[in-house]
Structures are given as C-alpha cells and as structure tokens.
Amino acid sequence: MNLALAGDILAAGQDAHCQLLHFQAHQQKGNKAEKAGKTGSKEQGPRQRKGAAPAEKKCGVETQQEGLEVRIENLQVVQTDFSPDPLQKVVCFNHDNTLLATGGTDGYIRVWKVPSLEKVLEFKAHEGEIEDLALGPDDKLVTVGWDLKASVWQKDQLVTQLHWQENGPTFSSTPYRYQACRFGQVPDQPAGLRLFTVQIPHKRLRQPPPCYLTAWDGSNFLPLRTKSCGHEVISCLNVSESGTFLGLGTVTGSVAIYIAFSLQCLYYMRESHGIVVTDVAFLPEKGRGPELLGSHETALFSVAVDSRCQLHLLPSRRSVPVWLLLLVCVGLIVVTILLLQSAFPGFL
C-alpha cells in the first residue's frame, strides 16, 4: 500500500505491517539460438516453401534474450499500526537511512532503527488518521492528518503547527485539510530548505473548490507562496532531487509537473491514468539520470490503481543566451544613435 526506498533497501507497507526488504538487480544477457529454423528444414510436405528454412534459421540465430533479474530478501517485519481497523498509510526514511518513520490510522508516529526495526520512538501525533509525513535533514518531522492539522516535531516534542487556512486565500466556511507534505532543497543554495504541502477541501462538494499548493520556509515554517493547482483533488506529491520541480497526481488520474520556485505549472496530462494516481517519482538527477533524460529537462514516473506505470517527459525550455541579449542591446543603441544623427544633424 505504500513504499520507501533507501539504496538497496525497500520498506513496504502491507496492511498493519511494515516489511523491510533487501533487493539486488542483475543484468542478464545472452544469445538464444532458436531451433525453429533447423526443425523447419527437416520438415517434408507439399506446403513447405523452399526459402522458408534459411530465413527462419537466420531469425533464430539473431534472437537475443536480455532482461533484469531482481532478487529480494526479507529482512524484518513489524506491526506499525494498532487501531481497530489497522493500516499503515505512510512510511519514510530519514536523510542518512538509519531511521524509518511510519504512520497509520491510529494517529501514532513510530520511528524504527534500520535494519533491525527496533522501535526507538512512539507518540500520538493526530486525532484520527495520519495522511502523510516527511523527515527533514535535521530530523525534524512534519505530519499531516485528518484532524485538519499539520505539525512540526523534533522527536516527540511539538515545535509548531502550520497555519495556512488562517492566512490562505479561502473562506473559513470551507474547511481544508493537508493532503501531502515533502521537503525539498533550494536550488543553488546547499543549506536552503523548503517544505511543500498540498491542501484539499475536507468535504466533497457539488461544485468543488480549488486545491492549493504551498511553499514554506524550512527554518521558521512560515508560508512563502500559495497557488491554486486546479479543481481536481490532489492525491500525491513529490519533489525532484535538486528541489527544482514538483510532481502532482490526482484522484481522477491526471499528472502535472510544477516549478518549485514560482509554483507555475509546466506540464499537465489530463486523466492520464483515468483513476487514482497513488504515487509519483522523479528520475534521479545523478548517476545515469542525465544520460537517460537526453534532451529533456526532467522525467516523472506515475503509478495508479490501474496497475500501470507511466513516464512523463518535460521538454527542455528554450532560453535566450546572455551574449545574444547583450548583442541585441548594443545593436539597438547603435541604431538609435544613427537615427538621432540622421534626424538631427550635428547631434553628436
């Protein structure tokens, strides 16, 4: 139902439990000579064409079998939710992958050591279900729940709560709740940190009000910018590795990519899946990521209840080089001087 990745370790939620898995991927390559050609050459009958056997043999010799073999080892399993109808809803690793945080329908946050899954912390974070959580580089924990609250924790101590509805663009008569939260880096600022949240209407209305995307300062947790992201209910949120892009999925199957700085929509595919998008993830920007991207600026994967994985490519945005702008400015200055000289002789 939910999953987090840390190197070659997977933490997967299944009902009320969290399973820790270790996986190894091996590339398989080899030639597979088909016997069809040789078999066909031995067949006798009025329907066999004389030229068929060599063609089949040639096709069989050139056939190659390639694939990726994934070996999975079960490491540990632990129950993480203890409500009457238990369900783990979210799981997240910390920045150095030494700790694992889980949240579920009982409203408790539980933190576990990796890979032993020894419990090191447990506290009540929300009244009702926990919808999402995010761990920051300084091990600050942000949680959002069905009680309409978003809280910032340092271990089990409440640091502050996010106040969006009080200062947001909505009316107090329309209650909103936080659906998702993610930390992201500030591009070109190694020490900078942003928190991004999605706010959706708490109740479904006949004429649904818009959902909102908000950027927060990662140090004092004050809102920096809020923008509407349409009337489709947002189901998931993710941030690219460099903090440049935001990926969104909706309950109606649409997928969008936003730029994190201005919260401007750069890509939108309406009802790409046609059913709830359960998660989105960006292609890594290190390792083989740039090689796989090619001429595209970023790539976003989306998965949905339809059991399909889709790849969304954002073409590189065209930009004018600085030297060309300077050349145009110099040209305009020269043309202006020449026009003034011709209109007013002796101007210079």
Q: Residue 10: which domain range?
A: 1-25+72-162
- For residue 318, the model assigns a pLDDT of 64
Q: Is residue 47 part of a domain?
A: no
- For residue 300, the model assigns a pLDDT of 96
- For residue 143, the model assigns a pLDDT of 98
| pLDDT tens for each residue of 69-88 | 889 999 999 999 999 999 99
State the pLDDT confidence band at 293, using cuts at 50, 70 and 90.
Answer: confident
pTM: 0.80
Q: Is residue 342 part of a domain?
A: no
State the pLDDT confidence band at 306, using cuts at 50, 70 and 90.
Answer: very high
Same domain, 197 and 262: yes
Same domain, 189 and 312: yes
- CB contact set of 92 (below 8 Å; sequence gap of 6+): 4, 100, 101, 102, 133, 134, 135
> Which CATH number goes with the domain that contains 84?
2.130.10.10
Q: Is residue 190 part of a domain?
A: yes
Same domain, 147 and 209: no
Q: Indicate whether 327 pLDDT > 90.
A: no
Q: Indicate whether 47 pLDDT > 80.
A: no
Q: Characterize the bridge pairing of strands 245-250 and 234-239.
A: antiparallel
Same domain, 192 and 158: no
Domain end: 109, 132, 162, which one? Answer: 162
Secondary structure of residue 39 in the 3-state scheme = helix
Q: Which of 12-21, 41-50, 185-194 has the lowest mean pLDDT?
A: 41-50
Mean pLDDT of 11-17: 95
Domain end: 128, 162, 196, which one? Answer: 162
- For residue 348, the model assigns a pLDDT of 64
Q: Indicate whether 35 pLDDT > 60.
A: no
- For residue 340, the model assigns a pLDDT of 77
Q: Is residue 286 part of a domain?
A: yes
Same domain, 7 and 155: yes
- For residue 214, the model assigns a pLDDT of 96
Same domain, 188 and 269: yes
Domain end: 122, 137, 162, which one? Answer: 162
Same domain, 137 and 187: no
Same domain, 152 and 180: no
**Total tally of structural domains belonging to the chain:** 2
Secondary structure of 269-314 as H, E, C letters? ECCCCCCCEEEEEECCCCCCHHHHHCCEEEEEEEEECCCCEEEEEE
Same domain, 112 and 180: no
Residue showing tokens 């690793």: 93
Is the model more confident about 239 or about 170? 239
- For residue 30, the model assigns a pLDDT of 60
